[in-house]
Amino acid sequence: MANAPHGGILKDLVARDAPLHDSLKAEASTLSDITLTERQLCDLELILNGGFSPLESFMNQADYENVVDTLRLADGAIFAMPITLDLSKEDIETKNIKPGARIALRDPRDDVALAIITVQDIYQPDKVKEAINVFGADDPAHPAVAYLRSKVKDYYVGGKIQAIQPPTHFDYVALRYTPAELRSHFAKVAWRKVVAFQTRNPMHRAHRELTVLAARQRQANVLIHPVVGLTKPGDVDHYTRVRVYEAIMAKYPNGMGHLALLPLAMRMAGPREAVWHAIIRKNYGATHFIVGRDHAGPGKNSQGKDFYGPYDAQDLVTKYRDELQIEMVPFQQMTYVPSRDEYQPRDEVPKGIETLDISGTELRRRLKTGAPIPDWFSYDAVVKTLRESYPPRTKQGFVLFLTGLHNSGKDAIAKALQVTLNQQGGRSVSLLLGDGVLPELDESFSRKDAEKSKDLQRLAYVAAELARAGAAVIAAPIAPKAASRDTIKETVLQSGGPGGKFFTIPVNTPLEYCEATDRQGFYNSARQGKLSGVVGVDVVYEAPERAELVVDITQQSIPEIVTRIVLLLETNALV
Ligand code: ADP
């Protein structure tokens, strides 16, 4: 393979001098340390394994400024992305970080020391300039600019890195390769020409056709090289995507393609990102690299316009063509031509011929509603995998949150609902009655106590986890305070994944009725001063201002209320 880079400092170090590796490990335990961010962890992995070659460390000021200004390291080698170890002033002061200091860099997931950096310099970046030069605008609609503004600390630390060990992964281990491993795999299977395909999205038939066409054009094999580090916020999670990639590999002619995962933290920097991706793929042993339409595009800016032109990435890669040591395979948008049952680059489709496309938004809509996804667009195995991760609403979890006074009828409604939803089937149903679940969550809880906000928070956590796993959750605490109800709702909505549906249903039965029919005597005891903390007597019930549905057992029968709640679920396409 032409211009194979070194195997990364980790490989050199471990192979060359194993005792040194042990002594570094011992030394790390005596040093001041930094727990890496998730992005720094991805960057460090590729520094260590040679994926960022010729870069062997987090950038010092000279490299950083050169890269930001000219896409070159200080020694003139082309490199498109600043790779920096950002730290706060507090870190620098409390950890005594200064030139010459040796600092252990730890994996945030398991606290293992992965490397030691010998600090060369500490410098303050011009973040506005970084945003404009690298990402094209200082506009927080760009995910990397938002990250730069809100997450990146104020100081960057450069210095030589010594490797201790690579980060440990537990997922898809067999599909993870270092550059050296992938190059030796290509040597083993005698692949001389390899077209690499970068992706952060599920692959469908267009992508399979695109990569096969590239292979045919260049008489090469195909490396499917998806990013499994950080991608654009909101992207399909990498577990789902890897299952999709595994399914699509079966659609390639036998032996033509190979799947390997790349632990890269993308920046969505379009043109610069494409140059960076090309360098990385060269390091992994590819001879060719596909750049299609809107490569690594971040979407729209705050004026609603695209940050980059659809082929800007191809133009920038072309500009550095002679130095990159990997050949770009440019593509126009691949589009489906029904009359030929084939995908073709848009610029090759004769005028007047019908073409079909399904946008990302439309695909998400079809997944959400369960609408069909046609064969010309994807493969059954791919669609099945996506549907498992993005179940239609009828399979998604939700929380029905009944709040109201003691003896307002909310428990009776909740139990009747549980029976009705069990009868309907399709989901597991969880009933979280205040009296039933709160003592389970808090051993000091007594039925004589008022609900504590901490207990309600625990209940919210359980409800959120159950809904996220697809359950129909019926929660019925008293929850008299607006603030704690808001926190419960937020906990469920922020739990992510399918299951973020939350319905507040106040059971507004008047206090007089609740009191008159209270066979347990709570109100009576409270009135006689024997019990305190009884909502409606000495604790105010703050009536909800916003609710999806308000019910009252003095106005409607329980079967009527259940019907109204089922209709609410139906209106939201959940049943
Ligand atoms: P990203 O470019 O952010 O990794 P994708 O995973 O969507 O996003 O795309 C991977 C590569 O495939 C990019 O080079 C992109 O331009 C190209 N690509 C994706 N879909 C098409 C298509 N329909 N036609 C041509 N190129 C495409």
Q: How is residue 572 written in tokens?
A: 């939201």
For residues 204 and 377, what is the distance between their CA atoms, to the nearest angstrom?
7
- Count of C-beta atoms within a 10 Å radius of residue 303: 8
Annotated catalytic residue, options 35, 201, 240, 318: 201
Atom of ligand 1 nearest to the CA of 296: 3
pLDDT for 505 equals 97
For residues 91 and 89, what is the distance between their CA atoms, to the nearest angstrom?
5
User: What mean pLDDT comes out for the span 479-488?
Assistant: 93
Residue for token pair 């319905």: 503
Ligand 1, from 203, 210, 228: best to mutate by most atoms within 8 Å of Cβ?
210
Q: How is residue 437 written in tokens?
A: 């679940």
User: What mean pLDDT comes out for the span 237-252?
Assistant: 97
Q: What backbone phi and psi angles, to 5 degrees, belong to 176? A: -100, 130
pLDDT for 163 equals 96
pLDDT for 233 equals 87
Annotated catalytic residue, options 106, 200, 205, 468: 200
Domains of the chain: 9-163 (3.10.400.10), 173-262+268-337+343-348 (3.40.50.620), 393-571 (3.40.50.300)
Instruction: Provide the CB-side half-sphere exposure for 573 (13 A, CA).
Output: 9
Task: Decide if 67 contacts 79 (C-beta within 8 A).
Answer: yes
At residue 232's C-alpha, the angle toward residues 137 and 44, to 5°, is: 90
pLDDT for 361 equals 87
pLDDT of 306 > 70? The answer is yes
pLDDT for 4 equals 43
Annotated catalytic residue, options 37, 49, 199, 283: 199
pLDDT for 155 equals 98
> What is the greatest pairwise CA distance in the chain?
90
Ligand 1, from 241, 293, 306, 358: best to mutate by most atoms within 8 Å of Cβ?
293
The distance of Cα 414 from the centroid of its chain, to the nearest Å, equals 35
Give 203 Cα–ligand 1 centroid separation in angstroms: 9
The distance of Cα 565 from the centroid of its chain, to the nearest Å, equals 33
pLDDT for 317 equals 98
407 is catalytic: no
Give the pLDDT band (50/70/90) at residue 22: confident
What is the three-class DSSP state of 247? helix
For ligand 1, atom 5, which residue shows the shortest CA distance? 199
Ligand 1, from 142, 199, 238: best to mutate by most atoms within 8 Å of Cβ?
199
Tell me: cis bond preceding 226? Omega within 30 of 0 counts.
no
200 is catalytic: yes
pLDDT tens track for 486-507: 999 999 998 866 556 999 999 9
For residues 492 and 399, what is the distance between their CA atoms, to the nearest angstrom?
8
pLDDT tens track for 363-382: 988 988 889 999 999 999 99
Q: Which residues does ligand 1 sit against, CB inside 6 Å?
A: 198-201, 206-207, 210, 290-296, 331, 333-334
pLDDT of 513 > 90? The answer is yes
pLDDT tens track for 138-180: 999 999 999 999 999 999 999 999 999 999 999 999 999 999 9
Q: By percentage, how much of the chain surpasses pLDDT 70?
A: 95
User: What mean pLDDT comes out for the span 186-214?
Assistant: 97
pLDDT for 8 equals 65
At residue 428's C-alpha, the angle toward residues 427 and 429, to 5°, is: 110
For ligand 1, atom 1, which residue shows the shortest CA distance? 296
For ligand 1, atom 20, which residue shows the shortest CA distance? 207
The amino acid present at 329, given as its one-letter code, is V
In whole angstroms, how far apart are CA 222 and each of 163, 211, 324, 410? 31, 7, 19, 60
What is the three-class DSSP state of 155? strand
pLDDT for 16 equals 47
For residues 109 and 112, what is the distance between their CA atoms, to the nearest angstrom?
8
For ligand 1, atom 3, which residue shows the shortest CA distance? 296
pLDDT tens track for 118-127: 999 999 999 9
Beta-bridged to residue 158, according to DSSP, are: 121
Give the pLDDT band (50/70/90) at residue 2: very low
With helix as H, strand as E and coil as C, how does 272-337 read? HHHHHHHHHHHHCCCCEEEECCCCCCCCECCCCCECCCCCHHHHHHHHCHHHHCCEEEECCCEEEE
b/e code 7-22 from CB counts within 10 Å (16+ = b): bbbbbebbeeeeeebe
pLDDT of 41 > 80? The answer is yes
Task: Decide if 323 contacts 78 (C-beta within 8 A).
Answer: yes
pLDDT of 197 > 80? The answer is yes
Q: How many Å from the N-terminal Cα to the C-terminal Cα in the chain? A: 57
User: What mean pLDDT comes out for the span 459-480?
Assistant: 94
Task: Decide if 442 contacts 434 (C-beta within 8 A).
Answer: no
| Average pLDDT score over the chain | 93
pLDDT of 7 > 70? The answer is no
Q: What backbone phi and psi angles, to 5 degrees, belong to 157? A: -120, 120
Task: Decide if 506 contacts 403 (C-beta within 8 A).
Answer: yes
Q: Average the pLDDT over each of 16-30, 259-273, 283-297 and give the range with the smallest value.
A: 16-30
Atom of ligand 1 nearest to the CA of 201: 6
pLDDT of 392 > 90? The answer is no
For residues 405 and 447, what is the distance between their CA atoms, to the nearest angstrom?
14
pLDDT for 462 equals 94
Please tell me what DSSP assigns to residue 79: -
Helices (H) and strands (E) in the chain, counts: 22, 16
pLDDT tens track for 442-452: 777 766 666 77
pLDDT for 356 equals 97
Nearest to 286 by CA among 174, 192, 177, 175: 192
pLDDT for 436 equals 72
Give 333 Cα–ligand 1 centroid separation in angstroms: 8
User: What mean pLDDT comes out for the span 355-365?
Assistant: 92
* DSSP one-letter string for 22-52: HHHHHHHTTSEEEEPPHHHHHHHHHHHHTTT
